[in-house]
A and B are shown apart, each in its own frame.
Chain A
Amino acid sequence: MIENRPGLTFLAHLVLIAGVLIVALPVWVAFVASTRGATDFMSGTIPMWPGPHLIENYSRMLDTGLSTSGTPPVGLMMFNSLVMALSIAIGKIAISMLSAFAIVYFRFPFRGLAFWCIFITLMLPVEVRIVPSFQVVAGLGLLNSYAGLSLPLIASATATFLFRQVFLTIPDELTEAARIDGAGPMKFFRDILLPLSRTNMAALFVILFIYGWNQYLWPLLITTDAQYYTIVAGIKRMADVVDGLPQWHLVMATAILAMLPPVAVVIGMQRLFVKGLVETEK
């Protein structure tokens, strides 16, 4: 719809700006807090303008971390989160693409059953199966390891369905042309399906990376060794002080740092992401 009325344009902008302000305010407060000193929060009023301690706070968190809460330096936790988020995103994409490939292009016995099994896992997110998952992971000796952090979260019905839909939009004739051109199944997958799903993979990667990065309950449960703390679970541990006050300026500095990688992923993959969501022509 293309309207050209100044009043409407003004109103539209007003609504958008209000929306942006509402979303941005907490982030701003967090940023302001991360630039203040330890005592600025005792007064009872929340400061709204940045203070002078920005460099001090951030370098302290990156350097040594908040040792009183038992968390390692922020750098290590971010690295752990990065490993976890990347493994989950890449693992999910790889597994679900292959399963969708099998379901759409192969006629094997119990194909329908396999399909429904994948479907049923939709009803079993991490939170529901957390106790049995923990037992399995513990039994395999994967507590406090990157594998333990990411493997149980990799299977994904949603992504499998997404790729199934993508593959179904690829015309049969294209598959047949490839068959006549002498492309076997794996060659077809690599030469035709992969490039045609590129934008969908990118869109999914963005979503899954953020999903993995924001995991909270699972890492909290299976990591007891500070070496493997992730950043999101780490923030929670920092804010959880038994006696005394939380070091809000440091917690907020960590929170701001924790936001950066997802933001970078979104900005870096924005164009592919949007294309992947809206593109229909195959």
Chain B
Amino acid sequence: MASITLDNLGKVYPGGTRAVGDVNIDIADGEFIVLVGPSGCGKSTLLRMVAGLESISEGEVRIGDRVVNDVEPADRDIAMVFQNYALYPHMSVRQNLAYGLKNRGTPKAEIERRVKEAAEILQIGPFLDRKPRALSGGQRQRVAMGRAITREPAVFLFDEPLSNLDAKLRVAMRLEIKELQKRLRTTSIYVTHDQLEAMTLADRLVVLNGGRIEQIGTPLDVYRRPASTFVASFIGSPAMNLLDAKAVPHLPGTAHAGTIGIRPEDLSLAEDGLIEMNVMAVEELGAQRLVHGRTSGEAITIALPSDAPLGDTLKLGFDRKNLHLFSRDSGARID
């Protein structure tokens, strides 16, 4: 068990690419932190710096009270789960789970106990003597997690562990990971580009963009009060509508804003609606129907109940408190 502090962390790759900069995060003991952002925003780099797989160019990583900048990965008391599982193909599941412990000189009986325990937790007991190639993707992912659990580390690091699984399995595993972390109370950092996965797993979200932190907060905080247009468009599905304030001048109380945001589910049909929308496409989702269109040249989407009436033009209303206002220059939230 340990807290983690990232202090002004930065990474410049040889060759001059800046992947990460000015990252400050305080992670509490037992907390589940999710780093989320689009591909190439530096999530993996950040995680790998914590793991010790990538050298640190600026700032400090502390695990517990110890600065670990120059500590080997094996000595940082961490365990990592990789996207492609990274199981040793020539070892049985049992050997995969035991390998790290064996290298540490853990007594045989203790190794056996921990392997058995992890196998029970993850229900991989029946496969213990199989090679990874004889397992399905989901089973391999379990083994990869088992390998992390047997280590009983202070910190779990996950780099997109579910990305190689099919959609249904992903949802199931997501829940399991969450439960597992609740049960073990191990501080965890989890990287994903999937905002839904991030929302469901995180105690706190860290939204990254271009190697910088855009916002840190609980999933609901981030959803309800996105700190910038980037976060607003990234978190939530369907994405929030971002309208140029000049294009829709008739909304009251928005004079000082550059961009006005409103979530598709916060819009509704209204006779006296202020926004007039030309319908261009409709997506049926079953419970909902998403209507895409334009208002004053700006793209806009609205989520309607599946029995809502449709037409070529719709009049849309909203509640003033559901508007999000952002500055024109920086895209930052203004209240």
Contacts and interface: CB of A to CB of B under 8 A. Distances in A.
Interface string A60-99: 0000000000000000000000000000000000000000
Contacts of A174: 86, 88
Given A181-B74, A182-B74, A183-B103, A176 B86 contact: yes
A173 to B, nearest CB: 4
Q: Among the interface residues A173, A174, A177, A196, which one has the most CB atoms of the partner chain B within 10 A?
A: A177
A40 interface: no
A196 B80 contact: no
Interface string B68-103: 000011100011101110111110000000011001
B51 interface: yes
A180 interface: yes
A282 B86 contact: no
A176 B74 contact: no
B82 A282 contact: no
Contact of A176 (B53, B88, B89, B90): B53
A180 B84 contact: no
B55 to A, nearest CB: 11
A180 B51 CA distance: 8
A271 interface: no
Interface string A221-246: 00000000000000000000000000
A180 B103 contact: no
A180 B78 contact: yes
Interface string A152-192: 00000000000000000001011011111111000100011
**B contact residues, range:** 20 to 34
B168 interface: no
Given A187-B103, A281-B133, A179 B86 contact: no
A187 B74 CA distance: 13
A197 to B, nearest CB: 10
Interface of B: 51, 53, 72-74, 78-80, 82-84, 86-90, 99-100, 103-104, 133, 147
21 contacts: A171-B84, A171-B86, A173-B83, A173-B86, A176-B73, A176-B82, A177-B82, A177-B86, A177-B88, A178-B99, A179-B73, A180-B74, A180-B100, A181-B100, A181-B147, A192-B88, A192-B90, A196-B89, A198-B90, A281-B89, A282-B89
